[in-house]
Amino acid sequence: MQQNELELIEKIVHLNRVAKVVKGGRRFRFSALVVVGDGKGSLGYGLGKANQVPDAIRKASDKAKKNMVNVALSGSTIPFQVTGAYGSARVLLKPAGAGTGIIAGGPVRAAMEAIGVKNILTKAIGTNNPHNVVKATIEGLKTLTSPEAVSELRGKTIEYAEVK
Protein backbone atom coordinates (compact mmCIF):
# COMPACT_ATOMS: atom_id res chain seq x y z
CA MET A 1 0.00 0.00 0.00
CA GLN A 2 2.09 2.90 -1.30
CA GLN A 3 0.74 6.28 -0.20
CA ASN A 4 2.01 9.78 -0.68
CA GLU A 5 3.00 11.36 2.63
CA LEU A 6 1.66 14.77 1.54
CA GLU A 7 -1.97 13.68 1.11
CA LEU A 8 -2.43 12.22 4.61
CA ILE A 9 -4.53 14.17 7.14
CA GLU A 10 -3.04 14.07 10.64
CA LYS A 11 -5.16 15.03 13.67
CA ILE A 12 -3.93 15.14 17.26
CA VAL A 13 -6.68 13.72 19.46
CA HIS A 14 -5.06 13.93 22.89
CA LEU A 15 -1.79 15.13 24.43
CA ASN A 16 -0.94 14.00 27.95
CA ARG A 17 1.86 15.13 30.25
CA VAL A 18 2.93 12.67 32.92
CA ALA A 19 5.32 13.39 35.78
CA LYS A 20 7.76 11.04 37.49
CA VAL A 21 8.98 12.33 40.83
CA VAL A 22 12.72 11.77 41.30
CA LYS A 23 15.26 13.00 43.85
CA GLY A 24 15.90 16.27 42.00
CA GLY A 25 12.27 17.09 41.28
CA ARG A 26 9.83 16.05 38.57
CA ARG A 27 10.64 14.50 35.20
CA PHE A 28 8.00 15.16 32.56
CA ARG A 29 7.18 12.92 29.59
CA PHE A 30 4.48 13.30 26.97
CA SER A 31 2.13 10.91 25.24
CA ALA A 32 0.22 11.77 22.06
CA LEU A 33 -2.79 10.05 20.52
CA VAL A 34 -3.00 10.76 16.77
CA VAL A 35 -5.38 9.70 14.00
CA VAL A 36 -4.21 9.69 10.37
CA GLY A 37 -6.44 9.43 7.31
CA ASP A 38 -6.25 9.99 3.59
CA GLY A 39 -9.65 11.70 3.29
CA LYS A 40 -10.84 8.88 0.99
CA GLY A 41 -11.74 6.07 3.39
CA SER A 42 -8.50 5.00 5.11
CA LEU A 43 -7.91 5.60 8.81
CA GLY A 44 -5.35 4.65 11.44
CA TYR A 45 -4.50 5.62 15.01
CA GLY A 46 -1.30 5.58 17.02
CA LEU A 47 0.01 6.34 20.49
CA GLY A 48 3.50 7.80 20.86
CA LYS A 49 5.45 8.55 24.03
CA ALA A 50 8.59 10.67 24.35
CA ASN A 51 10.40 13.30 26.42
CA GLN A 52 9.39 16.07 24.00
CA VAL A 53 5.97 16.77 22.43
CA PRO A 54 7.11 16.80 18.75
CA ASP A 55 8.84 13.44 19.17
CA ALA A 56 5.71 11.93 20.75
CA ILE A 57 3.54 13.25 17.88
CA ARG A 58 5.98 11.93 15.26
CA LYS A 59 6.06 8.47 16.87
CA ALA A 60 2.27 8.39 17.13
CA SER A 61 1.76 9.36 13.49
CA ASP A 62 4.29 6.74 12.35
CA LYS A 63 2.36 4.05 14.27
CA ALA A 64 -0.94 5.36 12.88
CA LYS A 65 0.34 5.10 9.30
CA LYS A 66 1.35 1.48 9.92
CA ASN A 67 -2.06 0.30 11.16
CA MET A 68 -4.42 1.97 8.69
CA VAL A 69 -7.72 0.30 7.79
CA ASN A 70 -9.99 0.86 4.80
CA VAL A 71 -13.61 1.84 5.38
CA ALA A 72 -16.58 1.66 3.01
CA LEU A 73 -18.04 5.15 2.59
CA SER A 74 -21.23 6.15 0.80
CA GLY A 75 -20.56 9.54 -0.75
CA SER A 76 -19.88 11.99 2.07
CA THR A 77 -21.34 9.79 4.82
CA ILE A 78 -21.46 6.13 5.91
CA PRO A 79 -23.79 3.58 4.28
CA PHE A 80 -25.77 2.58 7.40
CA GLN A 81 -26.00 3.03 11.18
CA VAL A 82 -23.44 1.14 13.22
CA THR A 83 -22.27 0.93 16.84
CA GLY A 84 -18.60 0.36 17.64
CA ALA A 85 -17.45 -0.98 21.00
CA TYR A 86 -14.12 -1.17 22.75
CA GLY A 87 -13.94 -1.75 26.49
CA SER A 88 -16.73 0.28 28.07
CA ALA A 89 -16.72 2.77 25.18
CA ARG A 90 -19.61 2.61 22.71
CA VAL A 91 -19.79 4.92 19.71
CA LEU A 92 -23.01 5.26 17.72
CA LEU A 93 -22.46 6.36 14.10
CA LYS A 94 -25.50 7.37 12.01
CA PRO A 95 -25.48 8.49 8.38
CA ALA A 96 -26.73 12.02 7.78
CA GLY A 97 -28.02 13.97 4.80
CA ALA A 98 -25.97 16.48 2.87
CA GLY A 99 -25.43 19.76 4.71
CA THR A 100 -25.65 18.25 8.21
CA GLY A 101 -21.92 18.40 8.90
CA ILE A 102 -19.99 16.39 11.46
CA ILE A 103 -21.98 16.21 14.69
CA ALA A 104 -19.38 14.59 16.95
CA GLY A 105 -17.22 15.10 20.02
CA GLY A 106 -13.44 15.49 20.02
CA PRO A 107 -11.99 12.01 19.35
CA VAL A 108 -14.78 10.94 16.97
CA ARG A 109 -14.69 14.29 15.13
CA ALA A 110 -10.94 13.97 14.54
CA ALA A 111 -11.41 10.46 13.12
CA MET A 112 -14.29 11.54 10.85
CA GLU A 113 -12.37 14.55 9.52
CA ALA A 114 -9.31 12.39 8.81
CA ILE A 115 -11.29 9.69 7.01
CA GLY A 116 -13.11 12.18 4.79
CA VAL A 117 -16.69 11.94 6.12
CA LYS A 118 -18.54 15.26 5.75
CA ASN A 119 -22.03 14.41 7.12
CA ILE A 120 -22.57 12.17 10.14
CA LEU A 121 -24.33 12.03 13.51
CA THR A 122 -22.42 10.41 16.39
CA LYS A 123 -22.75 9.79 20.10
CA ALA A 124 -20.04 8.48 22.43
CA ILE A 125 -21.61 6.35 25.17
CA GLY A 126 -20.12 4.83 28.32
CA THR A 127 -16.83 6.67 28.66
CA ASN A 128 -15.08 9.78 27.43
CA ASN A 129 -11.58 8.25 27.52
CA PRO A 130 -10.14 9.37 24.16
CA HIS A 131 -8.07 6.20 23.66
CA ASN A 132 -11.06 3.87 24.00
CA VAL A 133 -13.41 6.20 22.08
CA VAL A 134 -11.05 6.27 19.07
CA LYS A 135 -10.67 2.47 19.20
CA ALA A 136 -14.47 2.02 19.42
CA THR A 137 -14.93 4.37 16.45
CA ILE A 138 -12.49 2.36 14.34
CA GLU A 139 -14.13 -0.94 15.41
CA GLY A 140 -17.49 0.42 14.27
CA LEU A 141 -16.10 1.70 10.97
CA LYS A 142 -14.43 -1.67 10.28
CA THR A 143 -17.83 -3.41 10.29
CA LEU A 144 -19.16 -1.20 7.47
CA THR A 145 -19.68 -2.81 4.09
CA SER A 146 -20.52 -1.06 0.84
CA PRO A 147 -23.98 -1.47 -0.70
CA GLU A 148 -22.30 -2.97 -3.78
CA ALA A 149 -20.63 -5.72 -1.70
CA VAL A 150 -23.90 -6.57 0.07
CA SER A 151 -25.85 -6.71 -3.21
CA GLU A 152 -23.19 -9.02 -4.67
CA LEU A 153 -23.43 -11.34 -1.64
CA ARG A 154 -27.22 -11.46 -1.78
CA GLY A 155 -27.44 -11.70 -5.56
CA LYS A 156 -29.64 -8.60 -5.82
CA THR A 157 -29.41 -5.38 -7.76
CA ILE A 158 -29.23 -1.96 -6.14
CA GLU A 159 -32.33 0.17 -6.64
CA TYR A 160 -32.41 3.67 -5.22
CA ALA A 161 -35.72 5.27 -4.29
CA GLU A 162 -36.66 8.38 -6.23
CA VAL A 163 -36.62 11.56 -4.14
CA LYS A 164 -39.61 13.80 -4.80
- For residue range 21-67, list pLDDT tens digits in order: 999 999 999 999 999 999 999 999 999 999 999 999 999 999 999 99
Tally of domains within the chain: 2
CA distance 134 to 145: 20
At residue 162, the 3 state secondary structure works out as coil
- For residue range 109-150, list pLDDT tens digits in order: 999 999 999 999 999 999 999 999 999 999 999 999 888 888
Same domain, 31 and 101: no
Please give the helix or strand (H or E) that residue 57 lies within, else none. helix 53-66
pTM, 2 dp: 0.88
**Pair 163, 156: CB distance under 8 Å:** no
CA distance 78 to 144: 8
* Owning domain of residue 63: 5-69
Same domain, 85 and 22: no
CA distance 47 to 139: 17
